[in-house]
Structure 1
Amino acid sequence: TTQIISEAGLTIGDSDRIFDFLLGGNNQNFINNFISFYGYDIAGLSAKSFLKSSVNFRYEFFRHNYISLTANAARAENDLFNQGKIFENTKTGYALGYAMKSIIGPIEVNYSWSPDTKQRYWLFNVGFWF
């Protein structure tokens, strides 16, 4: 399975930082402007606007067992358009994962890293978000 996702967020006018978009980690509980972004810690990138794209390749190698490879790229800036230089300062991150379907929902383990920060993270997810 191949999944391609593009997302964008834009804040108009001046606002408090509490309304910033927060990119990073494997947050799938879409609340309070948190956006999943492999290769960075939760809320590792924050700004008033963002553009993000990701590609996820997932392969079922055994019944209910999957491996995945994900690449994502984003720009998170207060001035997203940057006088026409919208690809300047683009951040990237990657993840390699294993997932399985279980009686309590999906169980996932992802190893993520970013060449920008040289950071590496192990991410775990058990069950469904409510």
Structure 2
Amino acid sequence: MFSKACEYAIKATIYIAQKSHQGGRVNVKEVAKSVNAPEAFTAKILQQLCRENILASIRGKQGGFTFDIERQKEIKIYDVVRLIDGDGIFTNCGLGLHKCSSENPCPVHDDFKPVRDNLIAMTQKYSFYDLALRTENGLAWLK
């Protein structure tokens, strides 16, 4: 459903949120390993998340990536999906038609619209704080 880049971004952001709860910072290598992603690809994704002020990066020997707890409570899965993949998954036609709408529906429009609406609701429901707590408490995992 989401691109590989988006999947890696979501998992990496959850992992960094988790480590930030514990007061730690993580480097690219550790993040990439924890989410089974290529290191160079992970670095690009993390840079993009930092440019958009979702994550913070601290340079140097004691540096690494962090995710402010208060910011974790504000940022939802939806925000990362829109940043990495754009909003097409939330707005585009289920069959990929350019002119699909309620007035000019594709053959699956009425069935696909609730799926898309549920996806929007789900991605706007969970903050990265919520997701980090779930993984910390063993209710979910990233691998």
TM-score by length of structure 2 reads 0.26
Q: Higher strand fraction: Structure 1 or Structure 2?
A: 1
Whose helix fraction is larger, Structure 1's or Structure 2's?
Answer: 2
Higher Cα radius of gyration: 2
Higher relative contact order (CA 8 A, sep 6+): 2
